[in-house]
Structure 1
């Protein structure tokens, strides 16, 4: 009886729909508490070695179209910060394309040449960020951020 009632319950919303509904309601301060530590831990080595110094005071937006999420990052004092300001450059694409970029499942250049990821605005800044990410042999699939990316990748495979 219990199992039958469970089978009649509606399926929970797909992660994409849930994120699209929840993200606009999440305050920037909470996003900062979640995202900034992950990014700063993930890039601790390159940040301390000055690899991202050219981003100091610049703003790059990551627009994940199918999730309806835009994150604008800047660099302040060797630390990534989320900002409300518009990006000088925007990298735009679907969440699966960003996942492929982050995990290096596909060649980053191919993602851009096939226009699955697009740079808008200050293309020089966008290409610099792409090249900095591309230069990381292991991608972003390490530590806590890597765990999150692996979960998203599993979800993406289950949706197909």
Structure 2
């Protein structure tokens, strides 16, 4: 019976957490989100920025849509730095749920496998989309700062555990 309770709680948390997160995100002005997203993307892509691996994005706009929390923004690389803006007219759009993006960032999930399972959608300039996807695949979470690596790793492990608990519903039937 305890297993059923844990399973139902995990399923409920996985279902409701994005909806809960979406509410405050909806009222936060984009300028505040822009500051946070700029810092987050610069942190996650620090190595790529240092190695100038983002030149292919010069003058191009990549939209990131986190579907379950209704967050969408565009990202570009200009003059050696990342620029974040509200959605306008991207060259390519990546769409996924927050849990899938977390697993990609933590190095626990491969963008290719999510794409082929139709959990990561890529629309628009296919060449640019492929370059961005390859960049995501090449990210090494071990090169992140220890505190970011810990936060991502812990969050990803918790998410994977919740998904496992939600998927293992004990049978209620008795012989």
TM-score normalized with structure 1 length: 0.78
Counterpart residue number, 1:106: 109
Q: Give the length in aligned residue pairs.
A: 148
For residues 107-146 of structure 1, the C-alpha deviation after alignment (integer angstroms, 9 at most, x for no partner) is: 321111111111011122111101011122x248833543
What is the SS of the residue equivalent to 1:127?
Answer: helix
TM-score normalized with structure 2 length: 0.72
Runs of 4+ in 1 over 4 A off after TM superposition: none
Question: Is 1:132 the counterpart of 2:135 in the alignment?
Answer: yes
Indicate which of 47, 50, 55 corresponds to 2:49: 47
My pick for the range that moved more, 90-99 or 34-43, is: 34-43
Higher relative contact order (CA 8 A, sep 6+): 2
Indicate which of 96, 100, 119 corresponds to 1:97: 100
For residues 65-124 of structure 1, the C-alpha deviation after alignment (integer angstroms, 9 at most, x for no partner) is: 112111211112221121122322111121222122212212321111111111011122
CA distance in 2, matches of 1:29, 1:145: 23
The runs of 5 or more residues in structure 2 that have no matched partner are 1-12, 167-175
TM-superposed CA distance for 1:34, in Å, is: 1.5
Is contact 1:65-1:95 (8 Å) kept? yes
The runs of 5 or more residues in structure 1 that have no matched partner are 1-11
Question: Is 1:15 the counterpart of 2:29 in the alignment?
Answer: no
Considering fraction of residues, name the structure with more helix: 2
